[in-house]
Amino acid sequence: MSAASDQARRTLRALNVLAKWRTLLAGWQLGTRPKGDPACDAVSDHREVTLLLRAEVSALTGVLLAKGVVTDDEWAAALEQEAQALNRALETRFPGVTASETGLQMDRRVLPWMKGWKP
């Protein structure tokens, strides 16, 4: 048995353990739901992806910084640019909504596209 396959097994086990949090997080967001509830299943799936993505990006960032491929400042600047670009994309996708350090602001342009949203 090679060290790589041992590492792969340990990594898969750790990711599987991390993914178990998806159910608690879905319940936290939606409240208790019966097994198989479509909304809860969708939120649970999304939470799992978010947890795994967070672990992957943190690991990749750590390796790049440790190996000196990027500096802390380069990483921070790139992250700032990506956050600003995503913010602009969301403002385009949801006309009338802007984000600031104090929260979301909405103007009358949100009324047509929010009309069918559940209370």
- CA gap 60, 47 in Å, rounded: 20
Least confident stretch, 29-33, 61-65, 83-87, 112-116: 112-116
Q: Which domain holds residue 59?
A: 1-70
Helix residue ranges, H only, the chain: 3-19, 21-30, 38-66, 72-93, 110-114
Are 38 and 17 contained in the same domain? yes
Are 92 and 64 contained in the same domain? no
Written as six digits, the tokens of 92 are 């385009």
pLDDT (tens digit per residue) in 55-95: 999 999 999 999 999 999 999 999 999 999 999 999 999 99
pLDDT (tens digit per residue) in 43-53: 999 999 999 99
Are 64 and 91 contained in the same domain? no
Are 90 and 63 contained in the same domain? no
Task: Report yes or no on whether pTM surpasses 0.85.
Answer: no
Q: Tell me what pLDDT residue 106 has.
A: 93
Tally of domains within the chain? 2
- CA gap 107, 91 in Å, rounded: 12
Provide the angle, in degrees to the nearest 10, between the axes of the packed helices 3-19 and 38-66: 140
- Does position 1 have pLDDT exceeding 60, yes or no? no
